[in-house]
Chains A and B, each alone.
Chain A
Amino acid sequence: GAVVSQHPSWVICKSGTSVKIECRSLDFQATTMFWYRQFPKQSLMLMATSNEGSKATYEQGVEKDKFLINHASLTLSTLTVTSAHPEDSSFYICSARDLPSGRTQYFGPGTRLLVL
């Protein structure tokens, strides 16, 4: 149980294009999902909290117009990196809580983004 998937697993794009990453909870409903960014040999940095049916809450320093988040259903949240630049290249990971009051986050496998 508590399986989270991400798609795509890796993507290469040209500078200036937009990239959409999907995060799905496969066997449970997730009212809250989280998006993280991770650089090599570093810890996870929370970017935003995605709430089903409402606007995402972004962490300080994260541009909401740059990283668009949509949580349209209880099993799907999407992160769109708009007008991507090489400095946006990173490992993006989502997580989901399995219960409305649950505190455990289960993570997806991550998406490797390379912007040329």
Chain B
Amino acid sequence: GESVGLHLPTLSVQEGDNSIINCAYSNSASDYFIWYKQESGKGPQFIIDIRSNMDKRQGQRVTVLLNKTVKHLSLQIAATQPGDSAVYFCAENGGSNYKLTFGKGTLLTVNP
């Protein structure tokens, strides 16, 4: 079946730097995308979402970019903090069944 994948399984950054986490998706019918943050031993936490009629959406310190031409999604975190250390998952939905397909996840480590 179609899947959502990530280019980088791990990312290590210095505190204060900007982080960019990438995600490639293969289902061209996907029209809704979400980024989740999962800390160790906890459930995924909603960060930001974007619909396919947009190519950029900003939140607090986070920005999601969507490039439908190359089926690529990215999450940018500004001024990364130690509390941002977690696994980040992208997820996509392209149908009426509301199911989400998750990517493999990227482990972000923020060094003080």
Using a CB–CB distance below 8 Å, which chain A residues touch chain B?
A: 2, 4, 6, 32, 34, 42-44, 46, 49, 93, 95, 97, 103-110, 112
* B44 touching A104, Cβ below 8 Å: no
The total of chain B residues at the interface (CB under 8 A) is 20
The residues of B that contact A103 with a CB separation of less than 8 Å are 32, 49, 93, 98
The yes or no answer to B25 lying at the interface (CB within 8 A) is no
A109 and B98: CB pair below 8 A? no
User: Which B-chain residue is minimally distant from A4 (CB atoms)?
Assistant: B43
Q: Which of B41, B42, B98 contacts A97 (CB 8 A)?
A: B98
B45 within 8 A of A: yes
6 contacts between A and B (CB under 8 A): A43-B104, A103-B98, A104-B34, A104-B46, A105-B46, A109-B42
A6→B43 CA distance, assembly (Å)? 10
**B89 and A107 within 8 A (CB):** no
Q: Which residues of A contact B105 (CB under 8 A)?
A: 42-43
CB-based contact A43/B46 at 8 Å: no
Q: Is the CB of A107 within 8 A of B44?
A: yes
Q: Which of B41, B43, B99, B104 contacts A107 (CB 8 A)?
A: B43
**B93-111 Cβ-contact flags toward A at 8 Å (1 or 0):** 1000111101111000000
Interchain CB contact (< 8 A) of A49 among B43, B45, B97: B97
- Does B46 contact A106, Cβ atoms closer than 8 Å? yes
Q: Select from chain B the residue with minimum beta-carbon distance to A46.
A: B99
User: In whole angstroms, what is the CA distance A109 to B43 when docked?
Assistant: 4
Indicate if the CB atoms of B41 and A110 lie closer than 8 Å.
yes
Hey, which chain B residues are within 8 Å of A4, CB to CB? 43
A37 to B97 Cα, complex, angstroms: 19
